[in-house]
Structure 1
């Protein structure tokens, strides 16, 4: 009897091993098919061409943002999805106004022009501009050390650079973004009349990089204008201040904050054949800043996400679970779209099991980061070998994406596509974020990589740690 049980156990193990091997081979062939379709018959680059060159920068609340909504909705409808719709959301509307102007007064009657751009959400300067002495600081903490006596009536110049020795450039960005976001709010507390912030870029050039900023609860009457300055000019101003600490800087902004306006998230889905109530989201944000055309941030993520559903339709793949593409509005200066989508999903009691976001540019994909439980991550990491033929090796626990973050609850897993990031901040929020800087092949590889992960999650589901799951693993 013992011998029989041993034989049955060995036989069961053999059958299981064979089944796993067959499944792995099937998955490998399916991923190969996905990459072939994306690289040979891809649509993402053409979509991005239109979004970037026919529409352009898509600042939240702008006419171009609405054109992007109309265009992407029409393109999703052409795919023959089960459902395409617009989700209303009220978004902030801020306009830059006329071109900004700035100079450093190097001697009486002698000036040098500086390359600046208003930060998103900044108030304008007085009609005649703002001119004052400049005081350089390396961060928010230094304000308190200097105190009101040394700051009042001056322009605060935040000059802490991104750390070039950090390999993960998003870590370098995170290390100094606070001076852009909260710099004006904090400087106003000490009586400053304006703020100039070093552009968040690792590249030395003459292009200023905009980005969101906040005044917190500062009364409107006490808000001060804030602008970014190019890295080259930041170094120039810093060098001149070392020689002559009393130099004055002039800058003129023409920006204006308006009432909120109606906009939309664009949504399309393929309904699952077996578990239609289990929803997987793939998405990027449709809005962009206005200096360039938003090709990397985040036109690339938008078209890659659309491509995921198109590839499944082209391949004739019917997912078990519902796959939903969401093109979020207003990530850049409010996150209204992401918050609204999560709010509506919660109100409807929708069961989201997985969400994948692409918002790190259209460069060569390296892998993914996951917001997941250790057991869930172990399951996902078991798929890593399937991606190695495509040089995708980065599977790590970490962040996901700003727009899908509000969805997180319970056992849901969030993921972010992680392309090579070394060039991303050369273009991020700058006039150089344009279509010509996106490589077609890199963009298509990213779309194929996202589609492959969605395929695997659809096939195997996600381990549910705290609740009973209806799928098998």
Structure 2
């Protein structure tokens, strides 16, 4: 099979532009140069190697998170930007403690056996000796509430709803299941449950439990909560069908400490014509503690810095101020994104767009956004320039978590969308490590973000 060259695809894109738009040939050529720079001189892969392998998991409040802040500051200072600075953020400090344990016990049909679990982020601990109780399986919060307090009280609630595998975009499957993890513990506690076990938020059937944040409600007791691997969930569900009297023994050793001072790390290139108009690109610097935080969200951080590096390397002088933000505390508080938006509003800064990468460093597919119809249509009009690089998906499905607070300030908020098929196999797990990242896919992602930033900078929104 003969494959077309990228030059031919770029030329075809120019020819596909509306009549009279051939002047945009320079845009096509500039975008091609962006990709050439990323694929031949890209620095993000080696930056990611250091962040993940030398610093590792970076949970807010940890020494590793503090080290990541200093690393990001130094990396951006190397780029010769117009300004690099730290923005103070008070972040929560939760520690997992010793490895969690879970055993299926007192079963009439099975010997005592261990299942793999991990505490949900923010979980309170069990008693020092652990917690043992009967298990009540439900598929949803609604099903739980219909059972009522009499059937729930004193039990460990097991939320077992799996991903809907029919979704092509696995993020939709995640959205359809994650309420069990975020809201399930408080819903169960209101009815007298003593603990919660949640099937891992994963598209894979394996023995790797996935952590993730929970949100304790103020009107409910706080009870310990863990995620169980999907293989463990299948086993537990199968045993419960024939033995509803079995029990689960849980041990969680977590603890909460006082909030810690941390920082968003910010670097910018000042606009040459409209410096008051700001375009943000960013990722979150923190990660869960059980892996290296490679795809979530080391890739987003290094891709965002790469956007600014390439502008400098290509001697591109943006019209508008381009700002890269490494947000702190997306995983268990979103305080970095919230603080950034609050301070931007207090300073009366004018953000026209904010683009986040927090979906992994996989093959680029496009962009999602929350923007006005006019802004959306303007970006859609650039598809002929972006399509040769695989960026076919431009949707109104929302922006990234850290940039969404900027919507209230008038910004169009956006998210880079890579291929999602493998992301939720490793999301929030010990398997989210550097070796899972493909260098070429990573660099293509940074180039894709830079291409969109270039168009927004040149033409505005």
Cα distance, 1:36 vs. partner? 0.2
Q: Hey, what's the Cα distance between the residues in 1 that align with 2:20 and 2:434?
A: 43
Q: Once the two structures are superposed, what CA deviation does each residue of 1:50-87 show, in whole Å capped at 9, x if it has no partner?
A: 00000000001100000000001001000000000000
Report if the CA contact (8 A) 1:331-1:402 is conserved.
yes
Q: Is residue 2:179 matched to residue 1:175?
A: no
User: 1:190-269, aligned counterparts within 5 Å?
Assistant: 190-218=191-219, 222-269=221-268
> Helix, strand or coil for the counterpart of 1:409?
helix
Question: Deviations along 1:191-227, whole A, 9 cap, x unmatched?
Answer: 11100000000100000000000111046xx311000
Distance 1:438 1:23 in 2: 38
- Relative to the length of structure 1, the TM-score reads 0.92
Correspondence 1:44-443 to 2 at 5 A: 44-105=44-105, 107=107, 110-218=111-219, 222-409=221-408, 411-443=410-442
Shift in Å, 1:412:
2.4
- Partners of 2:364 and 2:441 within 8 A in 1: yes
Distance in 1 separating the partners of 2:407 and 2:87 = 19
TM-score by length of 2: 0.94
Q: Distance in 1 between matches of 2:296 and 2:409?
A: 30
DSSP-derived class of the 2:413 partner: strand
Structure 1 residues 389 and 59, CA gap change in structure 2 (3 angstroms): same
Structure 1 SS opposite 2:112: strand
Shift of 1:411: 4.7
Q: Deviations over 1:407-446 (max 9, x none)?
A: 1136521111000001100010011111111100000000
CA shift, 1:244, in A, is 0.6
1:176 to partner: Cα distance: 1.2
CA distance in 2 between counterparts of 1:374 and 1:342 reads 23
Unaligned ranges ≥5, structure 1: 1-16, 463-473
CA–CA separation in structure 2 for the residues paired with 1:307 and 1:261: 29
The alpha carbon displacement at 1:379 in A equals 1.1
SS of residue in 2 equivalent to 1:235 = helix
**Partner-residue secondary structure (3-state), 1:110:** coil
- Equivalent residue runs for 1:431-470 within 5 Å: 431-462=430-461
Distance of 2:180 and 2:18 partners within structure 1: 57
Corresponding pairs, count: 444
Contact map agreement 1:106 1:112 (CA 8 A) in 2: no
Cα offset, 1:392, TM superposition: 1.4
Question: In 1, Cα distance between the equivalents of 2:345 and 2:207?
Answer: 45
Give 3-state SS (helix, strand or coil) of 2:440's partner: helix
For residues 147 and 68 of structure 2, what CA distance do their matches in structure 1 show?
Answer: 46
By how many angstroms is 1:21 displaced? 3.4
- Matching residue of 1:3: none
CA contact (8 A) 1:368 1:416 kept: yes
Secondary structure in structure 2 of the residue aligned to 1:441: helix
Contact 1:88 1:265 in 2 (8 A): yes
Distance 1:18 1:111 in 2: 69
Aligned-residue offset at 1:22: 4.2
CA distance in 1, matches of 2:37, 2:70: 26
Distance 1:398 1:209 in 2: 25
Q: Deviations over 1:371-391 (max 9, x none)?
A: 111121111111101112112
State the distance in 2 between where 1:273 and 1:18 align: 29
User: Does the CA-based 8 Å contact 2:107-2:247 persist in structure 1?
Assistant: no
Do the aligned partners of 1:89 and 1:265 also contact (CA within 8 Å) in 2? yes
Shift of the 65–20 alpha-carbon distance from structure 1 to 2, 3 Å rule, reads farther
SS of equivalent to 2:245: coil
C-alpha separation in 1, matches of 2:91 and 2:18: 54
SS of 2:428 mapped into structure 1: coil
Give the drift of 1:107.
3.6
Taking the aligned partners of 1:385 and 1:157, their CA distance within structure 2 comes to 49
* Offset, 1:110: 3.1
The 3 A distance-change label for structure 1 pair 228 and 129 is same
Partner of 1:14: none
SS state at 2:32 partner: helix
Could you list the structure 1 runs, at least 4 aligned residues long, displaced by more than 6 angstroms after superposition.
none
1:119/1:226 contact within 8 Å kept: yes
CA RMSD after TM alignment:
1.4
Larger Rg: 1
